[in-house]
């Protein structure tokens, strides 16, 4: 990594702005509204969590272009200087599916993980929901049945369910560690590399392993997060140190709030010659036309040979399915048809596991025409972000991250 000169060194434990008083005085805490302190005005609405009624007919091409302008492609947008083409943003013709490797009869296929030389299953087990299963016994059966079906990608994070997710996954992987590609995430939320390295040791202990296949920075979702992570002595230095020590094979970062933040991470990585192997983001048929990671981030990963990892294929809470906007099969198939190495799936029961395994076993990528048709069908209902609350509210934002950035906790401000 290039030597940094005159880098600002914000205090690792500083809370930039105390926002609790503001929210309480404004009467917003109880209402569950979110005001992203540093959200530029041109980034579109950030506080609308009301449920819009589905639009019965897809919008016209002009309406869709206008929607794209409102939702992040305006002339003043920081992305506008990065060479994005609106025609590409609205069609994604260049986003072709990755090649798949057949791993045997009734087994889940695999895709390449960027330039790493590793292949991973096209669907992965999400650690957050695994820790929310009704019991450890059910969680163990989920892990074992998934592995038996050919699932190799296992997702986790240091802070999921106060460590229970890593504990349960580590216990379930005993005797099977060599059959999986194990990922966890570091949750410094802007604090320094010594905190990150301590978290790594916690993760290794809980997961009962001497190394991770992939270690990622979790929840890069605040506009100052990239600069905090790349500061001297920040989390990025911990990733590189752990890789040099052989405690992790590959490194990356995740986030769910706004593609502009991901692009800032990539920009700083380019400037400082940091080579991320993976980038994780929400990818679904609603994201395609609303502050779109698919349209804005995936092409940048392709240029760099980085692996995209998809999450929130059903919008994070399945509300799109409940409202009848799409079926589970349509949503998963869309997400897996994008150029991503794996689609990480929230699974807390054997029923959901078997449902998703059936889609993955029989997976055939959508054609570009089918992808565009589904984008257009979903564009109207996607237009206000109510099916992607992780972008428009704080509902999905971790407690530690809220604390580090001066926001009220979930009890004070649930949305």
Worst-scoring range by mean pLDDT, 8-22, 92-106, 370-384?
8-22
Per-residue pLDDT, 3? 42
| pTM of the full structure | 0.81
Phi then psi for residue 146, to 5 deg, are -65, -45
> How is residue 98 annotated by DSSP?
P
Distances (CA, A) of 189 to 37, 157, 211, 250, 367: 16, 13, 22, 20, 39
pLDDT score of 233 more than 50: yes
Residue of 347, 338, 328, 331 lying closest to 307 (CA atoms): 338
Phi then psi for residue 66, to 5 deg, are -65, -40
Percent of the chain with pLDDT over 90: 73
Distance CA 189, CA 404 (A): 7
Phi then psi for residue 42, to 5 deg, are -75, -5
Give tens-digit pLDDT for 297-338: 999 999 999 999 999 999 988 889 998 999 999 999 999 999
pLDDT score of 28 more than 80: no
Residue of 360, 338, 341 lying closest to 292 (CA atoms): 338
Mean pLDDT of 347-355: 97
Mean pLDDT of 256-283: 98
Distance CA 343, CA 123 (A): 5
Contact 289, 375 (CB under 8 A): yes
Ordered DSSP codes for 135-167: SHHHHHHHHHHHHHTT--EE---TTGGGGHHHH
Residue of 278, 366, 363 lying closest to 101 (CA atoms): 363
- The first and second tokens of residue 245, run together, are 């020590």
Compute the mean pLDDT over every residue in the chain, rounded to the nearest whole number: 83
Distance CA 174, CA 131 (A): 17
Return the half-sphere exposure (C-beta side, CA atoms, 13 A cut-off) of residue 359. Answer: 24
Per-residue pLDDT, 410? 87
Distances (CA, A) of 47 to 28, 73, 170, 289, 337: 10, 19, 38, 18, 31
Per-residue pLDDT, 270? 98
pLDDT score of 260 more than 80: yes
> Which is higher by pLDDT, 246 or 80?
246
Per-residue pLDDT, 94? 52
> How is residue 214 annotated by DSSP?
E
Domains of the chain: 110-376 (3.20.20.100)
Distance CA 197, CA 193 (A): 6
């Amino acid at each position: 990594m290039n030597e940094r000169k005159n880098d600002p060194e914000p205090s690792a434990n500083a809370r930039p702005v105390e926002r609790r008083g503001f929210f309480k005085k404004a009467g917003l805490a109880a209402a569950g509204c979110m005001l992203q302190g540093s959200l530029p005005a041109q980034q579109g609405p950030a506080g609308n969590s009301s449920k819009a009624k589905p639009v019965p007919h897809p919008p016209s091409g002009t309406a869709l272009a206008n929607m794209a302008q409102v939702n992040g492609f305006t002339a003043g947008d920081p992305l506008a200087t990065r060479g994005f083409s609106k025609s590409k943003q609205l069609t994604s013709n260049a986003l072709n599916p990755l090649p798949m490797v057949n791993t045997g009869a009734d087994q889940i296929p695999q895709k390449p993980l960027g330039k790493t030389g590793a292949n991973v299953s096209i669907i992965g087990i999400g650690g957050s929901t695994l820790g929310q299963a009704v019991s450890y016994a059910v969680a163990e059966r989920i892990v074992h049945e998934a592995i038996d079906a050919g699932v190799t990608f296992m997702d986790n994070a240091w802070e999921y369910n106060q460590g229970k997710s890593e504990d349960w996954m580590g216990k379930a992987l005993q005797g099977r560690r060599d059959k999986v590609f194990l990922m966890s995430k570091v949750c410094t939320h802007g604090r320094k590399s010594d905190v990150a390295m301590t978290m790594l040791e916690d993760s290794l202990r809980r997961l009962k392993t001497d190394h991770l296949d992939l270690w990622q920075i979790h929840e890069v979702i605040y506009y100052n997060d990239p600069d905090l992570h790349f500061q001297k002595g920040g989390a990025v230095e911990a990733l590189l140190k752990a890789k040099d020590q052989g405690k992790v094979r590959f490194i990356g970062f995740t986030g769910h709030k706004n593609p502009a933040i991901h692009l800032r991470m990539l920009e700083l990585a380019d400037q400082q010659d940091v080579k991320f192997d993976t980038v994780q983001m929400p990818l679904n048929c609603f994201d395609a036309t609303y502050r779109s990671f698919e349209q804005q981030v995936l092409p940048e990963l392709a240029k760099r040979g980085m692996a995209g990892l998809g999450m929130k294929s059903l919008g994070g809470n399945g509300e799109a399915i409940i409202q009848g906007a799409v079926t589970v099969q349509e949503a998963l198939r869309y997400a897996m048809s994008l150029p991503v190495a794996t689609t990480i799936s929230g699974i807390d029961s054997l029923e959901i596991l078997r449902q998703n395994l059936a889609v993955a076993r029989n997976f055939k990528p959508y054609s570009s025409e089918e992808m565009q048709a589904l984008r257009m069908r979903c564009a109207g209902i996607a237009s206000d972000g109510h099916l992607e609350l992780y972008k428009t509210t704080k509902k999905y934002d971790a407690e530690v991250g809220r604390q580090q950035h001066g926001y009220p906790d979930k009890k004070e401000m649930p949305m």
